[in-house]
């Protein structure tokens, strides 16, 4: 009996000791069985993405190929059962072949609305703001964060990457782009998309090309000569592509020189696929596809978000021979090779909650580098910890503004400023959202010794009165921007100019903080002591701004876009607006987006815009036309000062431009040192172009030698007649300094 009991005890102990092991092995086996993807010949990661794509194509039916080439609607109008993750677009999976669905989300400055987890997305400072950091590493981190959050929210492709140059700075999407210089914009956007792709997510560049205004964007025909296009707007795409190797390029709504961008052979095939060696796929902007045969021949690989042309119509075109199987396979190959090259096939997304704290931290760091100090008379800034400060206007008691449209990153918990009453389904899309991040609170935390209050500014007399009684008055002014609209003018909206004038008249220590997505004109500039451009500063914008205003952070951002004195100085003083037939009224159509999309697909009567300013975009326009500006490209103040000396230029495969930058002030800072070149007269170029820059961190009193490599292709011009890039022989003047209009150092070199 005793022996039997011992045996039982031993058996029980053995069971309890061994059970967890067995259980673990059992679970592991089940889990492995569940997660181990089925192996296909194209699962072999030793093969190139192209070889893997070809293996899949050999097994595909015509229907499967076509399935990969179009979307299935949007969250509010899908066809049949939907695999959509809630983003703006997707392609269906092909389970038989193990091909995953491509889940796409807009993510210009963070992952947008859509998936349920979208409310955790980080709203970074807007793209133009980030460009003002001139910091490729920050751009990479910016993209890296977007890529991580996309994956966490179940997406494997971004629809971000806007890099259009603001030929029309009143464009309602200027905030989504990277400024006016092709080298700066292309570099910054390239690093953003490189960061996105480092997460196994397909990167994107858009809107290809010449989509420089929103008014009548589906109908406008942009007229521009080849050389101007190649050296400016397309150059930005080329540079972004060479850095990022983005897997996708989105063609734009508008026509270019007569053909829709999405059926423009020159743009899609001659330039993008041949000259730029783009090996990813081209997808149409939403409703930007207008044909099957012409678009296919031109180089469009995928229609989004629907299948007006790349579904049944494409099938018929292939069956009739109007589109050859080889051409079709070419499109499918590009989509598949991107799925393999990006990691989307080998590393399926696993959803999780994004790390909102880490996101906020990065957003704050980037905002600190992006905010630009434009005016600081008599050292009105940084603020000291004492006295009274009144903040006026701009909802600075509760929030900071964001940019709208498809780029809108929803404010967590909803917009903190009550939205106007909803009028239709596109309401959220077209109304301002304010992030819950209070400048009043952030500034009070930095200045515990000061008495800080807030006033809406709605009552001008009350504003003047409060300003008069305060030591310092800070007016928060803003300009909301969104896709689907343009700004009628660069003047601040409603009565904000009047508010600033009133406050400035009451208090000489008036500072204006701007939250805008484009440049703003400043009729009051001589009357205020300080101006700070905060852009749409993101989820920790208030903290970053408080850091700048109080000097905890020394400002280092510099303008990636010129601030003109007035609309009259723009290349097109009056915004080109479409005739009514070319601008259907979405609201009058009952807000039915499916109907709207199909109308777009049918096409609208074109109207013209001519970019006859040609090569003169942004600062090159003001330089060439000798127009004085409010604040030039590349300009930004600091709480310290810098001096430049000893410019030398060495000729080699690349030019090496070196000089010394000295911090001549009393505190540490980061100076963005800029290098420009004036090309020989025979090149017939605008007076100068940016050819390089460096961010130089300097302690007080420190000086450092800076060396910048300038590859020769930064000095070439595009010859439209021979369709090639040329280095014009002659004298090149190399200029260095702290902004496009502060270039004291110059040296001439002769290039053969």
Active-site position among 181, 189, 204, 285? 285
Any catalytic annotation for residue 471?
A: no
Contact 209, 202 (CB under 8 A): no
d(CA 674, CA 670): 13
Contact 227, 176 (CB under 8 A): no
* Residues 6 or more apart whose Cβ sits within 8 Å of residue 35: none
Q: What sign does the dihedral 206-211-217-222 (CA atoms) show? A: negative
Residues that bind ligand BGC (CB under 6 A): 88, 106, 159, 206, 285-286, 406, 483
The three state secondary structure string of 356-398 is HHHHHHHHHHHHHHHCEEEEEHHHCCCCCCCCEEEEECCCCCC
List the one residue out of 618, 620, 616 whose CA is nearest residue 688: 620
The three state secondary structure string of 19-47 is HHHHHHHHHHHHHHHHHCCCCCHHHCCCC
| Antiparallel, parallel or unpaired: β 220-223 and 717-719 | unpaired
Q: How far is CA 310 from the centre of its chain?
A: 28
d(CA 386, CA 471): 9
> Which tokens is 503 given?
């406050």
CB of 89 to ligand BGC, least distance (A): 6
Exposure string over 494-508, b if 16+ CB within 10 A, otherwise e = eebbebbbbbbebbe
Q: How far is CA 320 from the centre of its chain?
A: 41
CB of 581 to ligand BGC, least distance (A): 20
Look up residue 682 and give its DSSP letter.
G
Residue in this structure with the two tokens 């200045």, named with its chain if needed: 447
CB of 104 to ligand BGC, least distance (A): 8
- 585 burial level (CB within 10 Å; 0-12, 13-18, 19+): exposed
Judged by DSSP in three states, 619 sits in: helix
| Antiparallel, parallel or unpaired: β 248-251 and 281-284 | parallel
> Which tokens is 715 given?
């000095």
CB of 286 to ligand BGC, least distance (A): 4
Residues marked active site are found at 285
């Amino acid at each position: 009996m005793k022996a039997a009991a011992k045996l039982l005890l031993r058996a029980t102990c053995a069971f309890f000791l061994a059970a967890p092991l067995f259980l673990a092995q059992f679970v592991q086996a089940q889990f492995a069985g569940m997660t181990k993807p089925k192996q296909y010949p194209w699962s072999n990661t030793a093969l190139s993405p192209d070889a893997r794509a070809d293996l899949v194509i050999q097994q595909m039916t015509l229907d499967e190929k076509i399935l990969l080439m179009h979307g299935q609607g949007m969250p509010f109008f899908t066809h049949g059962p939907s695999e959509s993750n809630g983003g703006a677009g997707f392609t269906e999976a092909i389970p038989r072949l193990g091909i995953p669905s491509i889940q796409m989300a807009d993510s210009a400055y963070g992952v947008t609305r859509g998936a349920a987890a979208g409310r955790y997305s980080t709203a970074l400072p807007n793209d133009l703001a980030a460009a003002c950091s001139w910091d490729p590493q920050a751009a990479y981190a910016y993209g890296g964060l977007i890529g991580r959050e996309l994956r966490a929210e179940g997406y494997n492709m971004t629809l971000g990457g806007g890099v259009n140059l603001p030929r029309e700075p009143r464009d309602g999407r200027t905030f989504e782009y990277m400024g006016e210089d092709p080298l700066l914009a292309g570099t910054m956007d390239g690093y953003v998309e490189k960061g996105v792709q480092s997460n196994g997510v397909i990167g994107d560049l858009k809107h290809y090309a010449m989509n420089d205004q929103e008014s009548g964007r589906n109908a406008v025909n942009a007229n521009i000569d080849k050389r101007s296009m190649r050296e400016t707007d397309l150059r930005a795409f080329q540079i972004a592509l060479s850095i990022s190797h983005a897997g996708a390029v989105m063609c734009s709504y508008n026509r270019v020189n007569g053909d829709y961008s999405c059926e423009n052979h020159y743009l899609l095939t001659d330039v993008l696929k041949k000259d730029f060696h783009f090996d990813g796929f081209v997808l149409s902007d939403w409703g930007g596809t207008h044909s099957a045969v012409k678009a296919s021949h031109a180089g469009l690989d995928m229609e989004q978000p629907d299948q007006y042309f790349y579904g049944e119509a494409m099938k018929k075109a292939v069956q009739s021979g109007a589109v050859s199987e080889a051409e079709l396979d070419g499109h499918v190959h590009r989509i598949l090779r991107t799925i393999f090259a990006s990691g989307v096939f080998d590393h399926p997304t696993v959803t999780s909650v994004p790390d909102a704290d880490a996101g906020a931290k990065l957003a704050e760091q980037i905002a600190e580098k992006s905010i630009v100090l434009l005016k600081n008379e008599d050292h009105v800034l940084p603020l000291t910890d004492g006295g009274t400060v009144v903040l006026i206007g701009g909802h600075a008691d509760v929030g900071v503004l964001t940019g709208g449209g498809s780029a809108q990153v929803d404010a967590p918990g909803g917009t903190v400023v009550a939205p106007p009453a909803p009028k239709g389904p596109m309401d959220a899309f077209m109304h301002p959202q304010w992030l819950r991040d209070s400048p009043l609170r952030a500034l009070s935390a930095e200045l515990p010794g000061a008495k800080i209050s807030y006033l809406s500014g709605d009552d001008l007399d009350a504003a003047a009165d409060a300003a008069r009684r305060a030591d310092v008055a800070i007016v928060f002014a803003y300009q909301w921007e969104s896709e689907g609209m343009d700004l009628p003018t660069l003047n601040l909206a409603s009565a904000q100019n009047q508010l600033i004038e009133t406050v400035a008249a009451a208090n000489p220590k008036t500072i204006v903080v701007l939250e805008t997505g484009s440049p703003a004109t400043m009729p009051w500039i001589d009357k205020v002591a300080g101006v700070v451009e905060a852009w749409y500063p993101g989820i920790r914008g208030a903290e970053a701004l408080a850091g700048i205003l109080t000097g905890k952070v020394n400002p280092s951002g510099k303008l990636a876009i010129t601030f003109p004195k007035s609309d009259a100085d723009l290349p097109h003083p009056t915004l080109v607006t479409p005739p009514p037939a070319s601008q259907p009224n979405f609201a009058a159509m009952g807000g039915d987006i499916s109907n709207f999309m199909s109308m777009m697909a049918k096409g609208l009567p074109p109207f013209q815009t001519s970019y006859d300013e040609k090569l003169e975009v942004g600062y090159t326009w003001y330089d060439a036309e000798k127009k004085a500006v409010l604040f030039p490209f590349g300009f930004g103040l600091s709480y310290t000062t810098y001096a430049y000396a000893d410019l030398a230029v060495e000729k080699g495969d690349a030019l090496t431009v070196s000089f010394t930058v000295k911090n001549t002030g009393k505190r540490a800072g980061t100076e963005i040192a800029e290098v420009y070149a004036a090309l020989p007269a025979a090149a017939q170029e605008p007076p100068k172009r940016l050819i390089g820059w460096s961010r130089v961190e300097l302690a007080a009193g420190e000086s450092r030698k800076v060396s910048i490599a300038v590859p020769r292709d930064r000095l070439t011009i595009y010859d439209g007649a021979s369709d090639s890039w040329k280095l014009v022989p002659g004298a090149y003047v190399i200029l260095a300094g702290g902004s496009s209009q502060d270039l004291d150092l110059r040296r001439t070199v002769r290039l053969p």
